[in-house]
Structure 1
Amino acid sequence: MGIFVALLVLSFLIFFHELGHFLAARLFGVRVDVFSIGFGKKIFTKQIGQTEWSISAIPLGGYVKMKGQDDSDPTAVNYDSDSYTRKRPWQRIIILLAGPFANFFVAFMLYFGASQIGTYLSPLFNYSHYLPATVGSFSDESPAKKAGIEQGDRIVSINSTPINNWEDVGETIQLFDGVLYFDIIRDNRQLNIGVEPIIKKQKNRFGESVDRKLIGIAPDAPDELTFSPMEGLAFAWNETIHASTLIFTSVQKLISGDVPANQLGGVVTIVDITAKASQSGIIALLFFTALISVNLGVLNLLPIPALDGGHIGFNLYEMITGKTASEEVMYRLTLVGWGLLLSLMLLGLYNDINRLLG
């Protein structure tokens, strides 16, 4: 059942990505010949107007085939008035951006939906930003506890830096060396307490080993966070931006080599984790689906010729120079792009198999 839900989630996200392209294309009068969810043998087709809507046997992708635009053959252009080729570069860019935008919008709505149901504390979202800076518990041998900080103390500043939430506490501790001076509120009294952090090596969210200053405290956190509709909109916006930044940074670290290539997951990992998330409850599934949606949006914006980002680059070139990129150059770069994508997919599959084998 979990795998079925995972495939359904992927198809859902792919549908909205391609729907973004479709709606933008039709807005500018571009004919759409095919709207397909999946690849391979078609198991369902229906002609609606000029567009053939289809579902194919392999539900791990999809595409919108516009008149005058073919990723498999960039030289197959068409100059009719309802062709993608005839549209101005800025119109084509909007059509290309519409797919990733749809993924970001879906993620935003999923985060908003989760906020209205009630979100439990999870590493899938940046919950520390929404918690008050009130001390809830201590670790063993906590430097903060030894220095005199007590449960229930509200931290208002560290080394004169104002603290508004628990995220500020963690970030500010890393900014200073030596003793940290905490201004706290306890029983309506303000106290100043000096705490000397310890330094330990820890793994960050990218798997890198880093030195972190620790004082051994945890927040006074409820089991569940609830938001009003207006707070939910702000929450959804912040989490969409946070997830996008996280994925951009992950890609950057993979390219630079800071994160090893064996950390790259493929479709098997995505299906596996989505299936597990679906078994953990609706909130976990909403958060992970939103994260995948942002992932699709970000990855499609990468400047690889076979992706939306690569096509946007070609159109920006045309806008700046006033010249259409050479068909031969576009063809060769697109082949390189497909080769790169195929290599990444095979690497992800190889890593997935290694994980499955332990």
Structure 2
Amino acid sequence: MTALMFLLGILVFVLGLLFSIAWHELGHYSLARLFGVRVPQFMVGFGPTLWSRHGKETEVGIKAIPFGGYIRMIGMFPPGDDGKVRQRSTSPFRGMIEDARAAAFEELRPGDEKRLFYTRKPWKRFLVMFAGPGMNLVLAVGIFLGVLMGFGVNTQTTAVASVSECVIAQSEEPRDCQAGDTPAPAAAAGLLAGDVITAFDGQPVGDWGTLQQRIRDTTGPATITVDRDGQSMELTADLIENQVARTDGSGGYVEGEFVTAGFLGFSPASGIVQQDFGQAVDRMGDMMTTGVEAMIDIPSKIPGLWDAAFGGGEREPDSPMGVVGAARVGGDIFTLDIPASQQVATALFLIAGFNLSLFLFNMLPLLPLDGGHMAGALWESGRRAFAKVTRRPDPGPFDVAKLMPVAYVVAGVFICFTLLVLAADIINPVRLTG
């Protein structure tokens, strides 16, 4: 049964992956068609074609390797300075440029002269290229909101899981209470495991983050209103200062950092809690920040990945994962001993995170990524605006094809990194279960 659920989890992730790729390419395709650009191909995946269907002017299909997708637009790059597409040069760098230029004019039909991508205004080209990652962002936000507000997430609550017997600085934990230790204010006040704190000093509290902050801001007497077995009770506690872990602003803790603050002395219980719209937006903002920081930290993760793949080192839980690693995690999710609804919610979170990563990755201003084409459109727009203000001749379209040698270098780096992540995902994968 466990093996079957593992395979089901992988299947769910793969289907989510294929949909995410198709959704990305649909963004490019829709805007290209809206702006009159002809699109001969719309493909999900790379390599040999498994299935395709020819429409009026676009071939739609699925290829064997689900690591990405593409649409092919007529006239992605302008002709050379003389207005011609030349034969391949013997110079390797010049050959790259001319190959890219020639590919942009394949399948050119009569009448396509007015449907070339490079002839569109820069803002239209920018929107066509942004539409792909933009669709991934829309999908990620939609899934995150649906999961956070619909399913809820496992989070700390105002319910009491356990009550400390004495006051121990968190920098000294873990240790047992000893003779001479001060009794914890919560225990002295009569707080019990299972109580649900509904108000602190007369002010209602509905989430752990708010309650935690009010406790830390208070020293001295305070009233604590609790729900105990369906009855409301009011307790009085005398809070004291203690060394406690620094918080991250969302109820979590910053490892290894401590502050002096008010102390009550209990541990909150965790539970599945549906988020309201504001809370969901705040969480998504944190995820976006974390995603950007993770993208910036990728170079620093490479030595650890290499050691995990080939040196027998430990695979860090936050190390980069590829499609294979994410599919394995998707399988692990469906073997966790949690309710089925939370298995689905966690799988959806994984797919949403993948879409957020696609958005951030494709926004990098580097060819051959979408962000590189967007940067080229912005550069052309600025160059033309400058020429207009200074009353100089229109410089014409920016020839992105001249950057193809750089694009090949960037692509080579990405391929090497992808292969390293793939090796780590196979040899020493990130696992949710033992």
- Normalised to the residue count of structure 2, the TM-score between the two structures is 0.64
Map of 1:232-311 to 2, 5 A cutoff? 234=278, 237-255=281-299, 257=300, 261-262=304-305, 263-280=319-336, 281-311=343-373
1:56-108 residue CA offsets vs partner (Å, 9 max, x unmatched):
11122111111122799543445822111111111111111111111121122
Relative distance call for 1:184 and 1:52 in structure 2 (3 A) is farther
Letter in 2 for 1:350: A
The alpha carbon displacement at 1:253 in A equals 2.3
SS class of match (2:69): strand
Preserved contact between residue 103 and residue 293 of structure 1 (Cα < 8 Å): yes
How far apart, in 1, do the equivalents of 2:234 and 2:145 lie?
A: 36
Map of 1:209-228 to 2, 5 A cutoff? 210-212=256-258, 217-221=266-270, 223-226=271-274
Relative distance call for 1:163 and 1:120 in structure 2 (3 A) is closer
**Are 1:82 and 2:119 counterparts?**
no
How far apart, in 2, do the equivalents of 1:19 and 1:188 lie?
A: 58
User: 1:91 — aligned with what?
Assistant: 124
How far apart, in 1, do the equivalents of 2:159 and 2:135 lie?
A: 40
Relative distance call for 1:109 and 1:69 in structure 2 (3 A) is same
User: 1:57 — aligned with what?
Assistant: 64
User: 1:166 — aligned with what?
Assistant: 208
> Which of 319, 328, 332 is the matching residue for 2:405?
332
* Number of residue equivalences: 330
Map of 1:29-178 to 2, 5 A cutoff? 29-69=36-76, 74-76=100-102, 77=104, 80-115=113-148, 117-121=150-154, 127=155, 131=157, 134=158, 136-138=160-162, 143=167, 146-148=184-186, 150=191, 152-153=196-197, 165-167=207-209
How far apart, in 2, do the equivalents of 1:313 and 1:89 lie?
A: 10
SS class of match (1:197): strand
Letter in 2 for 1:166: W
Relative distance call for 1:357 and 1:193 in structure 2 (3 A) is closer
User: 2:378 — aligned with what?
Assistant: 316
Return the index of the structure with the highest Cα Rg. Answer: 2
How far apart, in 1, do the equivalents of 2:163 and 2:325 lie?
A: 33
Preserved contact between residue 67 and residue 82 of structure 1 (Cα < 8 Å): yes
- Normalised to the residue count of structure 1, the TM-score between the two structures is 0.76
Relative distance call for 1:300 and 1:172 in structure 2 (3 A) is farther
Preserved contact between residue 368 and residue 411 of structure 2 (Cα < 8 Å): yes
% same residue: 24
Relative distance call for 1:258 and 1:194 in structure 2 (3 A) is farther
Preserved contact between residue 39 and residue 57 of structure 2 (Cα < 8 Å): yes
Relative distance call for 1:171 and 1:34 in structure 2 (3 A) is farther
The alpha carbon displacement at 1:35 in A equals 0.5
1:220-265 residue CA offsets vs partner (Å, 9 max, x unmatched):
44x43346xxx4x55654444332222111112234x389652222
Q: Which runs of 5+ in 1 are unaligned?
A: 122-126, 201-207
Preserved contact between residue 376 and residue 400 of structure 2 (Cα < 8 Å): no
